[in-house]
Amino acid sequence: MTHDNTLVETVAGAIRGVDDGRVTAWKGIRYAAPPIGDLRWRAPQPVKPWPHVYDATRYGYACPQPVDPRLPIDLGAPQGEDCLTLNVWASSDTSAGDRKPVMVWLHGGAYILGSAGQPLYDGRALTASGDVIVVTVNYRLGALGFLDLSEFDSPSRHYDSNLGLRDVLAALHWVRDNIAAFGGDPDRVTLFGESAGAGLITTLLTSPAAEGLFAAAIAQSSPATSVYDVSRAHRIARKVVDRLGLSVAEVDRLPEVPVGAIVAASTDVFYETPLSAPGTLAFAPNVDGDLVPDYPVKLAREGRSHPVPLIIGTNKHEAALFKWLKSPLMPITPEAIRAMFNQIAAEQPHLQLPTDDQMGAAYANLRGRARGMGVARDLGFRMPSVWLAEGHSTVAAVYLYRFDFATPMLRLLRIAAAHATELPFVWGNLKSSAKDPTFKLGGVKTGRAVSERMRTRWLNFATQGEPIGPPGEPDWRPYREPDHESLLIGRQDAVISDIDSDIRATWGTQVLNFR
Rg (CA), the chain: 22
Active site residue 318: yes
Active-site entry in 195, 305, 432, 451: 195
Active site residue 419: yes
Give the strands of the sheet with 493-497, arranged side by side.
Answer: 18-19, 23-30, 85-91, 133-137, 100-106, 184-194, 216-220, 310-315, 398-403, 485-489, 493-497
Q: Are 97 and 184 in contact (CB under 8 A)?
A: no
Q: What is the distance between the alpha carbons of residues 160 and 153, in angstroms, rounded to a whole number?
A: 9
Other beta carbons within 10 angstroms of residue 361's beta carbon come to 13
Active-site entry in 107, 317, 392, 419: 419
Active site residue 107: no
Q: What is the distance between the alpha carbons of residues 64 and 391, in angstroms, rounded to a whole number?
A: 36
| E strand segments, 39-80 | 54-55
Q: What is the distance between the alpha carbons of residues 462 and 227, in angstroms, rounded to a whole number?
A: 27
Active-site entry in 81, 194, 318, 422: 318
Q: What is the distance between the alpha carbons of residues 182 and 463, in angstroms, rounded to a whole number?
A: 17
Pair type for strands 133-137 and 85-91: antiparallel
Q: Phi and psi at residue 314, in whole multiples of 5°?
A: -140, 175
Q: What is the distance between the alpha carbons of residues 446 and 114, in angstroms, rounded to a whole number?
A: 28
| Residue-by-residue DSSP string for 149-179 | -GGG-BTTB---S-HHHHHHHHHHHHHHHHG
Q: Are 388 and 298 in contact (CB under 8 A)?
A: no
Half-sphere exposure of 199 (CA within 13 A, CB side): 25
Handedness of CA 70, 74, 78, 82 (dihedral sign): negative
3-state secondary structure of 136: strand
Residues sharing a CB contact under 8 Å with residue 416, sequence separation 6 or more, in sequence order: 316, 317, 320, 406, 410
Catalytic residues: 195, 318, 419
